[in-house]
Structure 1
Amino acid sequence: MDSLKYINHYSETTKKQVLELIKQEKLGQYLKKKYANSHAIKTDKALFAYVNELKNAHMKKVAPLSKVLYDGKINIIHNALGTHHFISRVQGSKLKSKNEIRIATMFKNTPLEFLEMIVVHELAHFKEKEHNKAFYSLCEYMQPSYHQVEFDLRLYLTHMDIKGKIEKWG
Structure 2
Amino acid sequence: MRANPLFLGISAFVTLSHASDSPSNTSALTPWISPIELAPAFYTLDSINDCGSSNFTNESSDASPLVSDCLHLADNIRGGGTWVFQSGGTQFQLAQSGTCAFGVQTECIPFQCVHGGILVKIGNQDIIDVIEGSVARFATSEGKVGSKGHMFCQEVGDEHPIPVLWGIYHSP
Instruction: With the length of structure 1 as denominator, give the TM-score of the two structures.
Output: 0.29
Structure (1/2) with the larger strand percentage: 2
- Taking structure 2 as the reference length, the TM-score comes to 0.29
More helix by share: 1
